Structure 1
């Protein structure tokens, strides 16, 4: 399949390997000082070809920049917000640092050194989420290079990443939900309906504003969650729920009146919240209706935490668990991919369950001892 030939240079005799690749293209590599080294190289080519593992040495000369734009463009399966984050990480962090680097030249130690320096950010540490996202883009591009047989392995895999520190969640009690809803009602009755909807069903914001009149079954008190409306680059992008699966969520009886009022005068295909044809806008961070309602609630209740609309989803999980709902029911309500994800996300809410288990085990032992005592007495 190939040959080794000697040739003369100004520095003395050298050896050149000539062979045909799996596509029958002629290839050669020269510069070997010893014939044995040239023969070893040719043997490696033969073995790699027989195993289907041959890689064109020239393909490893492609750069991260050559593959990066292609890789980012192939992420169309992601949700718009996730795709936007990847595109931003590629454009801002990866392309400037790695775009000109050849695939075959990158070493694991370099990637680790970059990740460490990137996280440190000259004394202004970046969040673990930002570091992991940027690293994920680089590693994803190199994964494609491996699959394309441009390089043998991914030098980015196995790099140590900073740990994400889970932020403390703020949960409202049912009393605090009432206080927040009251102050939201003072701004607009529809805002109060939205507060109750988020706090007692666990819908994501985009799922709540994506509800249509046809999604509601008022007799069974069920809502079919089929759309998720997310703001991306100042534009609402409508897609499927986060897990790509529709789900049916029940809502408490007291919500029926507010939802019915929101649906009045609308056709089945119109949106429940707002005027029906335009998605309900997300409240402004400072000075918006939600911010004003929270501040009014804090003035009334000194223990009222600083919350965001998304914290009301966490509140729904807390209220459901405290009411005795099992983890599978909470998983279905929240639309998590698995019960394990629900347990991992809300492990702190199940602490009381552990106390209950301990109490029940104590009771079991007490009953056992009593039984044994009766048996001994007899």
Structure 2
């Protein structure tokens, strides 16, 4: 058992001096508690001496038992470490980020500075309780953000995520035993509102109405890649002979403009191209050198959403008679997924096309589109059962 002991300070000179000063202060009106007579002492896992003082012996004995148990089970945390301010832990966590893209780190930094540190910065990490965090999440849901508008469910969830990751760092570094940010109910996130699934005819009408950007919209509507991936697609990544688009990078917004970076979730992938689209893509590819963007704006640089959306896309939506559906360039991913599923693609194929991190995520979003195969399974089982029964009858 770990060595923990209690020391009576009654005859210690420093305790007697502290007691005299306390008595004088009390006469002067001080309400400060008297100095602790009982000192619990022990050695931590780092073999350094530790100590805590208590006014009453039962308090010291309870702490002694608790320390012995935590030291014996390996769940010990240095009480002084728990006094670390959250702001210090948050900066330590943020400085340790290595694999996140620049845009992600910028988002984390913004949320830290706007919502997390202003709330928790001066708190000692060990003083933060689960119920405190629950109350804060409720505040985020009910109060306007720094820009005066209510925070979206996704923004609230990401703010909580940043706080939770910083507190996880505090737990991993031995400052707190558990993470008080865990297991909170967060507002439901609707990814981009109602899904819109265009038919082949509707997609063709939309693409035709887009003029010179016809092929670009067909790529969005049939390949299912993200806007940021499509606008960063280089000519050398289009493999017409094998009918593949190699998705390895995406545009990301950073301070000062746009920058090419890794794809979302770092999910590099190859996406199939329809054979009927190859001859439409070929002349575009032949006009570009390897390393040049496949799809560009009028100025020869990457397509800019803020100009493409109103000037090209929204105009094409109206011309195709699709206004009122709520269709956006991003929602063409839903069309690609629905058409692929209707054509018989399984969940893994759709996951690969869209660049989802897992098949579970694909099923969460599009599971209702997959055909109900219960009757098919039941019929197959029935055929097997009849065959077995017939063989059994023949033997008898």
- TM-score, with structure 1 as normaliser: 0.84
Q: Retained in 1: the 8 A contact 2:195–2:334?
A: yes
* In the alignment, structure 1 residue 137 sits paired with structure 2 residue 159: no
Measured in 1, the distance between the counterparts of 2:256 and 2:203 equals: 30
- Structure 1 contact 294–306 (Cα < 8 Å) conserved: no
Q: Does 1:251 align with 2:254?
A: no
1:84 equivalenced with 2:106 (yes/no): yes
Q: Which residue of 2 aligns with 1:218?
A: 240
Provide the residue aligned with 2:331 in structure 1: 311
Query: Which runs of 5 or more structure 1 residues have no equivalent in the other structure?
Result: none
CA contact (8 A) 1:216 1:224 kept: yes
Change in 2 beyond 3 A, CA 1:267/1:39: same
CA separation of 1:361 and 1:30: change in aligned 2, threshold 3 A: closer
In structure 1, what is the equivalent of residue 30 of structure 2? none
For the Cα contact (< 8 Å) 1:6–1:14, is it kept in 2? yes
Deviation at 1:327?
2.1
Aligned to 2:291: 269
Distance 1:368 1:130, change over 3 A: same
- Which moves more between the two structures, 45-54 or 70-79? 45-54
- CA distance in 2 between counterparts of 1:160 and 1:132 reads 10
- Cα deviation digits, residues 64-95 of structure 1 (max 9, x gap): 11111222233342233333332222111111
Change in Cα spacing, 1:359 to 1:155, as seen in structure 2 (3 Å) is closer
The answer to whether the 8 Å contact 1:4/1:39 transfers is no
- Contact persistence 1:270–1:277 (CA under 8 A): no
- Quote the Cα distance in structure 2 between the aligned partners of 1:15 and 1:360: 73
CA contact (8 A) 1:283 1:290 kept: no
Instruction: Find the counterpart in structure 2 of residue 168 from structure 1.
Output: 194
Tell me the C-alpha RMSD between the 2 structures.
3.3
The answer on 1:5 being equivalent to 2:39 is no
Secondary structure in structure 1 of the residue aligned to 2:307 = coil
Match of 2:344 in 1: 324
CA contact under 8 A between 1:55 and 1:150: conserved in structure 2? Answer: yes
1:109 Cα deviation from its structure 2 partner: 1.4
Determine if the alignment matches structure 1 residue 279 to structure 2 residue 282. no
User: How many Å apart are 1:136 and its aligned residue?
Assistant: 1.5
Q: Distance in 2 between matches of 1:287 and 1:306?
A: 13
- The answer to whether the Cα contact below 8 Å between 2:35 and 2:55 also exists between their aligned partners in 1 is no
Alignment of 1:108 with 2:108, yes or no, is no
Match of 1:297 in 2: 320
Shift of 1:368: 9.4
TM-superposed CA distance for 1:153, in Å, is 1.5
User: What is the distance in 1 between the residues matched to 2:35 and 2:171?
Assistant: 37
SS at match of 1:243: helix
